[in-house]
């Protein structure tokens, strides 16, 4: 009886040993296959970071080119600009326009005596109280007037006059004035397309008694070329 038990244990031990040897062999084979797959993947893993770095480098170069172009455009824009500000004159000038000459506002208009505060580039010039366009294109036009007239509606318009002497209203601003502490700013601005030799002016229509602050930081008129 004991003999048979020992024989059974020996048989099981040998069988289990063979099974372990088989499993070890299978595992070694799997490990070798994995090593081969990893070896095949190594060139791709090297190329992928390089490709990513190359793509990032190209993106960085494009970003620098775009930034450089934007900087050049900004410098070009800064070269083509003009700002007029109100002078220290104690009174405003009045100009009467004849019917049929302007094609726009007819009657008395108040003209502010401007002086040149900033002028850069050759695309814009000025004469008298008008801005002259030397190179056509798109422009940012802006204007502000600080009114000091009590109890009424004040405002101004920015208009252009072409070579045919017809006037076109570009921008308009209206502001209601209080009865007391009568100081209110009327500001307007926008993008417009202008042709060569167009003339721009800012005027106050139909307000012969307009009282305007003549400080340069309160009343001004300007233009910036975009292209």
According to the model, what pLDDT value does residue 135 have? Answer: 94
According to the model, what pLDDT value does residue 105 have? Answer: 42
According to the model, what pLDDT value does residue 208 have? Answer: 83
* pLDDT tens for each residue of 116-137: 999 999 999 999 899 999 999 9
Supply the CATH classification number for the domain 81-225. Answer: 2.60.120.40
Rg (CA), the chain: 41
Which residues lie closer than 8 Å to 165 by C-beta, 6 or more apart? Answer: 101
State the Cα–Cα distance between residues 102 and 111, nearest whole angstrom: 15
According to the model, what pLDDT value does residue 36 have? Answer: 64
According to the model, what pLDDT value does residue 44 have? Answer: 45
CB under 8 A, 24+ apart: contacts of 35-41: none
Low-confidence spans in the chain with pLDDT less than 70? 1-28, 30-79, 89-91, 94-107
What residues does each domain of the chain span?
A: 1-79, 81-225
Q: Look up residue 212 and give its DSSP letter.
A: B
In order, the DSSP letters of 21-37 are: HHHHHHHHHHHHHHHHH
Q: How far, CA to CA in Å, does 221 sit from each of 32, 51, 129?
A: 81, 54, 10
Residues 156, 92 contacting (CB under 8 angstroms): no
Angle at 137 between CA 131 and CA 141, to 5 degrees: 45
Q: Which of 222, 224, 143 is nearest to 185 (CA)?
A: 143
Residues 121, 223 contacting (CB under 8 angstroms): no
According to the model, what pLDDT value does residue 2 have? Answer: 60
Q: Which of 168, 151, 152 is nearest to 160 (CA)?
A: 168
According to the model, what pLDDT value does residue 209 have? Answer: 83
According to the model, what pLDDT value does residue 116 have? Answer: 93
Q: Which of 118, 53, 102, 82 is nearest to 225 (CA)?
A: 82
Q: How far, CA to CA in Å, does 101 sit from each of 66, 104, 127?
A: 47, 8, 19
């Amino acid at each position: 009886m004991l003999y048979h038990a020992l024989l059974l244990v020996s048989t099981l031990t040998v069988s289990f040993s063979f099974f372990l040897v088989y499993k070890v062999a299978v595992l070694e084979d799997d490990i070798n296959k994995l090593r081969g797959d990893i070896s095949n993947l190594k060139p791709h893993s090297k190329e992928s970071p390089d490709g990513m770095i190359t793509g990032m480098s190209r993106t960085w170069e494009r970003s620098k080119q775009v930034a450089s172009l934007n900087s050049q455009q900004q410098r070009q824009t800064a070269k083509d600009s003009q700002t007029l500000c109100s002078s220290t004159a104690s009174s405003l000038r009045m100009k009467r326009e004849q019917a049929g000459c302007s094609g726009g506002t007819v009657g008395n208009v108040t003209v502010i005596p401007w002086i040149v505060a900033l002028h850069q580039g050759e695309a814009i010039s000025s004469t008298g109280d008008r801005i002259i366009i030397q190179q056509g294109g798109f422009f940012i036009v802006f204007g502000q007037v600080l009114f000091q007239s009590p109890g009424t509606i004040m405002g101004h318009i920015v208009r252009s006059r072409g070579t045919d002497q017809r006037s076109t209203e570009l921008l308009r601003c209206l502001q209601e004035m209080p009865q007391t502490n009568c100081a209110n700013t009327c500001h307007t601005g926008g993008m417009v397309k202008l042709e060569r030799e167009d003339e721009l002016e800012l005027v106050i229509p139909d307000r012969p008694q307009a009282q305007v602050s003549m400080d340069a930081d309160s009343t001004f008129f300007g233009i910036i070329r975009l292209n």
